[in-house]
Chain A
Amino acid sequence: MVGMEYLLLLLGAIFCAYRAIVSKKILSSTIYLACISALVSAVLYLLGAPQVAVMELSVGAGLVTVLLVYAVSVVGEDALDPASVIPKPLAFVVVGLVAAFLGWMIYPSIQIAPETGPVDLASVLWQSRVLDVWIQIVLIFSGVMGVLGLLSERMPEGSKETHS
């Protein structure tokens, strides 16, 4: 059957996404999140976007997973996820309606147009989307500041130590 690989990869990603949300342990959720990244990057590769697939794999399954594991090791597995504020059946119905509406809006527009622009990522990024590159540089700088906040051991002034 044509498209079986897409079906398997995406069903795996959706299953992992669901398990990541309902899993009681944050560490298990982190592993499931890395699996989603790997599966989504495979789909991106099949769609003809190898550069983005590599970025997604290295950043999503690598960097973010390491950061999450580090954060969990700092704060501890504190918690089983408590009951949600919104009743789960209500959330399920709302999400089902939104997803159905989204699919209904997008589905009629699905048809492939002939190739018009350059496929190469580098030529698009360095010629017509230079502003994006500058924005990415600024974002990476903010990310470095965020990592410093993550690694900072100093307690805020006036607060008491609340964990052992």
Chain B
Amino acid sequence: MSLTPLNIVLFGIVALFGVGFYGLLITRNLIKFVMVLQILIKGVVLALVFAGKLSGNLGLGQSTAATVIVADTIVAVVGLALAVQVRRRFGTLDVPKISTLRG
């Protein structure tokens, strides 16, 4: 496997996705959860533009990436709003603790 720019970008996409997936598995804090989702989505945005470049239709890749960025931001906003309200209601951001609470 030669070290061309395309291979490097592919490695970067897979590695970003892997780190994000690892974070998703080990994180328990709700705010960190939102951050980990952001990392995963950054890998996805990179992959969409990369796929557009490979398929010779960069405009399509860019437009889908733009849509994903907007959706990702909304996910972050709604996730953070939920986290703030959960913290106010339950006094914790720890997901397993929240799932065992009643109220």
Contacts and interface: CB of A to CB of B under 8 A. Distances in A.
A98 to B, nearest CB: 6
A68 B57 contact: no
Contacts of B1: 107
B4 A3 contact: yes
Nearest to A88: B26
Nearest to A144: B77
Interface residues of A, number: 92
Interface string A12-56: 011001101100001001100100110010011001110110011
Given A112-B53, A142-B74, A55 B67 contact: no
Nearest to A135: B67
A21 B19 contact: yes
Given A44-B49, A150-B84, A75 B31 contact: yes
Contact of B19 (A2, A14, A63): A14
A20 B53 contact: no
A121 B52 CA distance: 12
B-side interface size class: 35 or more
22 contacts: A3-B8, A6-B8, A14-B12, A17-B23, A33-B38, A49-B58, A51-B62, A59-B73, A64-B76, A74-B84, A85-B96, A91-B25, A95-B19, A99-B15, A102-B14, A107-B10, A112-B54, A113-B54, A116-B55, A120-B59, A146-B78, A155-B89
Interface of B: 1, 3-12, 14-23, 25-29, 31-32, 34-36, 38-39, 42, 45-46, 49-50, 52-67, 69-71, 73-74, 76-78, 80-85, 87-94, 96, 103
Interface of A: 1-3, 6-7, 10, 13-14, 17-18, 20-21, 26, 29-30, 33, 36-37, 40, 43-44, 47-49, 51-52, 55-56, 59-60, 63-64, 67-68, 71-72, 74-75, 78-79, 81-82, 84-86, 88, 91-92, 94-96, 98-99, 102-103, 106-107, 109-121, 123-125, 128-129, 132, 135-136, 139-140, 142-143, 146-147, 149-150, 152, 155-156, 159, 162-163
